[in-house]
Structure 1
Amino acid sequence: MRQCSDRRKMGSSSSKPTQPIEISNKVACKGIPHSFDLIAGESWSYPSFYIAAPGSLPLYAISMPEGWAGCTILRPKTSIRGSPMVYAKRRHGKFRIYLPGVLSAGIMPCSATMRYETHTTEKYSFELMVYHGNSYRYEVFEWRYFEKEGNRSHGAASSGWKLVRLGPKMEKDVLPPYPGHAPPQQDHIAPPPYSKEAPSRRREVVAVLCHPSQGSSLDKSSACRFQYMGTGATEEIGYHWTLMAAMSGVCLWQHQIAKAHHGAT
């Protein structure tokens, strides 16, 4: 059974679900396009957007009922009304994102937190349980700003945000186990830190988010474009990760707009 831990009891508010979110297998099978535009609705005062593959009709709607600094709701249809598919709530630099269960497929509802940090550079990071072979493990993902890094690795955009797969969270200064004591000649030579993850599987760019002016193929009505890359464009990491990547990108973009134009922190 596919499970994502970190489940929480949801409280109640005017827009927050009072129960864990569930969607049908039919909705889940619609999937998320490998590349999609976030198309703006009629009003930016009460922001609403639509997810659509380039040149295609919208598949989903996104609403921000509390404005730019409030919650974000992904709907399973193109209407901003009705039950949510994914719900995100921001508070003090943290974005709590509630992911749906697909009970017919054995996928349980869960939640994960994306954190905004500005210690050295701006970044947004989250941990999520993902597929790993025939089992699951928590991995760390991080949104990082990029510019002028070349079009080949980040699509057509010269700047934007890239989602980097950092691999499993590891403890610092962990050394590989030895049977008994180390040989005398190695008493004062510490072995290299133990790495559970092969270098080729770490720091992979799995998604990119760019703005309208930074991609020549973007439609004028597009607020931004999202694109899965590498293993992110496959089913390897899991359905919850697919939703988390897209929703975290939308929340990041919303937060950047709120900071630039509405004084949000």
Structure 2
Amino acid sequence: MGLPAGYGVLVTRPTHQAQGLCRTLEAAGAMVWLLPALEIEPLSAAELPAEAVAPLGRADWLVFVSPNAVRHGLACMARHGIRPRADVRIGAVGKGTERALAEAGLAVSAVPDAGFTSEDLAAEAAFGDMRGQHVMIVRGDTGRGWLGAHLRACGAQVDYLAVYRAVRPRVDVAPVREALQSGRLHSVIITSARGLDNLWFMLGDSGRESMQRLALVTVSRRIARHAEQGGHTGPIVVAASPADGDLLEAVHQASEHHNTR
């Protein structure tokens, strides 16, 4: 079943991660606008010298929080000639991260069967008794601290390595503002709280007010609460996962609100 004729969707993923989702939405009949609300920048070689990266080659566990963490973490290791231990165990916060590791030839020891959050990963049996285990968590420069605190409470030694930063991109927002003003946008897809904050800033006060009346499709109740606390008044649909197919299904659900107006 396709989307309603003329149904407009704003995609805010970083450009390099958005193309598949845009094609999926367009195939379902959506009119798609792409406005990246985040841009991923790898940390420089000067910011990640060999001595900072070396612990990745000694750790008992490597935990990657996102596909970007895999991409930039492994590139950083390769740059310094560092390899994981042969017996290292690898954790992935979600299925997309697991796929990125598999594409790099790395087998995952722990990934949530359902869910894609730090809490879901921590619930895996492999993370029960962590006494004597050294865990390196590979992430961006502003990641949450919940997982590290939890694993420390389970007895692990935990260190973080930030390998990328998420920045607000400099892009032309005029087409999106015009689409908002003309009523051609109906849903917006947001996959991070920081991306939502950036989008609000980029659109300005009037654009933010218009966007907050649209249906919001997101990937967690935490982001949904952030949107509500920031003044979002439109319907909110939480997708089953960040996968393109699940986001499309959530957009279908959001479009039902459009149909009843």
TM-score, normalised by the number of residues in structure 2:
0.23
Structure having the larger proportion of residues in strand: 1
Structure having the larger proportion of residues in helix: 2
